[in-house]
Amino acid sequence: MTLPAHAPLAAATRGDAVESIHYGSLVATAPDGSAFASLGDAAARFYPRSALKPLFAVGMLRAGLRVTPEQLALAAASHNGSARHQDVATSTLADAGLDASALGNSTDLPYGPSERAAWLAAGHGPTRLAQNCSGKHAALLALCVQRGWPVQGYLGTGHPLNELMRTSVEDLTGEPVGATSTDGCGTPVYTLTLAGLARAFGRLAAAAEGTPERQVADAMRAHPELVAGEGRDVTDIMHAVPGLVAKDGFEGIQAIGLPDGTGLAVKISDGGDRARMPVAAAALSGRTVPATAGSMLGDAALAAALHPLLTMPALGGGQRVGELSAVVH
């Protein structure tokens, strides 16, 4: 087994001492898809996990999926499992003549802490509808109905959806997928390079009017609260920066596209969630990677909007005594 040559990307301090270091890799791509900056191991392949959802959503639209913008945003989401999230997923199923019994994703409690607490207080347990990928699965099922494909066994390797998801990822990233496995919710997941993921998100964010890519990007921009939820940094960054498209993924993944076509992809090597957004925000602000001529990276207005996402506080006795922030190389 060959380990990626990750670099230190973030450090957590407590007082005057460095308490923890997060290693990882990142790549920034230009509007033409070429990589112009990187840290760590730019060539390593990794699983983007839920950051693939917007790419799957593009493929579904290309195949003829008909949904509302809210339903499309939820198809690209790792949602908190709020009542609204579950209602939108239910509406996607209902419009296709289905209900939650058709879902084939894993069961889980709501992902959001407050949503999970309220769910448990109401006496509920894990369900497929509450699981954070239910919007994607509802859209996959709706496409099956609309195309006349089998609903039963829609996650099987021989189902038309399997080929659709793979070819959509390869087209948008501009590279063949590597290893294939199964994500936590049951859909395929593929190894890619960080450049491929960044390139795909740059294409989404700068897509031409009327294209499936633009429809997915616009749905996410219009409904960032559906893409993640209350208290989630992915929702916060899309609210803060007009035109930006963002999606996280388990195991320390962050993908971002800017409206000029610049893309950014981050992988935190230990799989921890807390470092991905400060690292991404620092790169977008021009603090850790150089910008190319005409790029939005380092733009003063962009940097100001991202400032609240640059650090996470370390608390001692309820007071801020340190912080987690990106390492400047």
pLDDT in tens, 155-182: 999 999 999 999 999 999 999 999 999 9
Rounded CA gap, 111 and 297, in Å? 31
With contact defined as beta carbons under 8 Å apart, do 75 and 139 qualify? Answer: yes
Q: φ, ψ for residue 247 (rounded to 5)?
A: -150, 135
Whether residues 264 and 181 fall in one domain:
no
Q: Chain-wide mean pLDDT for the chain?
A: 96
Please check whether residue 88 lies inside any domain of the structure. yes
Asked if 308 and 285 sit in the same domain, the reply is: yes
Side-chain-facing half-sphere of 212: CA atoms under 13 Å: 19
Q: Is residue 271 part of a domain?
A: yes
Q: Is the pLDDT of residue 293 over 80?
A: no
pLDDT value of position 303: 87
The pLDDT assigned to 188 comes to: 97
Residue at 219 is within a domain = no
Same domain for 62 and 92?
yes
Task: Tell me if 222 is assigned to some domain.
Answer: no
pLDDT of residue 265: 98
Residues 199 and 181 in one domain: no
Mark which of 189, 218, 244 sits at the end of a domain.
189
Domain assignment of residue 237, yes or no: yes
Residues 152 and 35 grouped into a single domain: no
Looking at the structure, tell me whether residues 56 and 157 fall in a common domain.
yes
**Is residue 11 domain-shared with residue 69, that is, in the same domain?**
no
147: in domain = yes
Instruction: Note the Cα 119 to chain centre separation in Å.
Output: 24
What whole-number distance in Å separates Cα of residue 318 and Cα of residue 281?
Answer: 25
Is the pLDDT assigned to residue 117 strictly greater than 80? yes
Residue 218 belongs to a domain: no
Residues 321 and 241 in one domain: yes
Both tokens of 182, joined, read: 């199964």
**Domain membership flag for residue 263:** yes
**CA separation (Å) from 101 to 73, 94, 151, 181, 255?**
22, 11, 11, 25, 32
Please tell me the pTM assigned to this model. Answer: 0.95
- Distance separating alpha carbons of residues 111 and 231, to the nearest angstrom: 11
- Structurally, the chain folds into a number of domains equal to 2
With 80 as the cut, is the pLDDT of residue 296 above it? no
Query: Distance between CA 262 and CA 29 in Å, rounded?
Result: 6
**What band does 210 get if pLDDT is binned at 50, 70 and 90?**
very high
CB-based burial, 21-56: b 16+ in 10 Å, e otherwise: ebbbbbbbbbbebebbbbbbbbebbbbbbbbbbbbb
- Kindly state whether residues 283 and 173 are assigned to the same domain: no
**Residue 294: which pLDDT band, with cuts at 50, 70 and 90?**
low
In terms of domains, do 252 and 301 share one?
Answer: yes
Q: Do 75 and 32 reside in the same domain of the chain?
A: no
Strands 192-193 and 263-268: unpaired
Q: Which of 87, 90, 66, 68 is nearest to 143 (CA)?
A: 66
**Domain hosting residue 73, numbered range:** 50-189
**How many Cβ atoms sit within 10 Å of the Cβ of residue 167?**
13
Q: Are residues 170 and 201 in the same domain?
A: no
pLDDT tens-digit series, residues 59-94: 999 999 999 999 999 999 999 999 999 999 999 999
